[in-house]
Amino acid sequence: MQTILIEKNAGIGRLILNRPHRLNSFNETLHQELASAFHTLSQDSEVRVIVITGQGRGFCAGQDLSESSTEQGIPLPLEGSLERYYNPLIQNIRHSAKPVVAAVNGVAAGAGANLALACDVVIAKYSAQFIQSFCNIGLVPDAGGTWMLPRLVGYAKAVGLTLLGEAIDALEAERIGMIWQAVADDQFDAKVDALCEKLAQRPTQALAFTKQALQRSSEHSLAQQLELERNLQYFALHSYDFKEGVQAFKQKRPAVFLGC
């Protein structure tokens, strides 16, 4: 792979966007390689958590604006890039049976910001910034931003962020509920590792059901949601990890979950 580094260790699959000279913005190759690498880690039974992060000082600056120009220098929309790349990627992250962590090491702009927000847990360096920069170049937020933002931060903040296109830092993003946690730059790597190690040892199947339940809740009535919880719990109650969890509780020892 030219634009993605893949690391795998102790149940953690790490995808590192690797175009640091362009702040890891998406060109055709990165789109293709990220889709393929995400699929590979999703299918790998040894991987129980997937982490997406960036190489260098940026997380991801959205679509690469330098590569999509006509001879006249007018930006050419990547024909079909939403259908071909962004939309399936966001769906695959949301529906992944594994927890997906965005480790936001630096600026996340445009579709790069919304890539992070599509992940289940977002942890960011204090120095990282989130920018809904679409309006700064005459575009509409995409990659799921208009769906996720109002759900995360409410309409007032979502509309302010997307109409003004201003940067907010990680502490502010945490304060308004847009991300899970902001951490000091010098503690970032250790905190990301600790978070991922913990997630990799959780009951993976129950976590997948939990994601499913939370994501369906906004389109459900209470009655529908109660029924969904009951159905998912039926499967969880028959899992190895439930038996192990209860046994470990009774024996006063830490549970060793296998994710099944």
Return the range that interacts with ligand T3D (CB under 6 A); candidates 47-55, 133-141, 231-239, 244-252. Answer: 133-141
94: left (phi over 0), alpha (psi -120 to 50) or beta: alpha
Which is nearest to 113 in space by CA: 168, 160, 163? 168
Asked if residue 111 binds ligand T3D (CB under 6 A), the reply is yes
Selection from 87, 86, 116 nearest residue 102 by Cα:
116
Site string for ligand T3D, 7-46 (x = CB under 6 A): ---------------xx-x---------------------
Q: Does residue 164 interact with ligand T3D by CB under 6 A?
A: no
* Total site size for ligand T3D, rule CB under 6 A: 23
Q: Which stretch binds ligand T3D (CB under 6 A): 37-45, 59-67, 150-158, 215-223?
A: 59-67
Q: Which residue stretch of 6-14, 137-145, 209-217, 224-232 sits at the interface with ligand T3D (rule: CB under 6 A)?
A: 137-145
Element (H, E) at 124: strand 121-125
Q: How many CA atoms lie within 13 Å of 13's alpha carbon, on the beta-carbon side?
A: 19
As a whole number of angstroms, the distance between CA 248 and CA 252 comes to: 6
- Binding of ligand T3D at residue 107 (CB under 6 A)? yes
Q: Report if residue 55 touches ligand T3D, rule: CB under 6 A.
A: no
Residue 131 touches ligand T3D, criterion: CB under 6 A: yes
3-state helix, strand, coil in the chain (%, to 5): 50, 20, 30
Q: How many CB atoms lie within 10 A of CB 55?
A: 19
Task: Pick out residues in 140-159 that bind ligand T3D (CB under 6 A).
Answer: 142
* Bridge partners, 79 (sequence order): none
* Binding-site ranges for ligand T3D (CB under 6 A): 22-23, 25, 61-66, 77-78, 81-82, 107, 109-111, 131, 133-134, 137, 139, 142
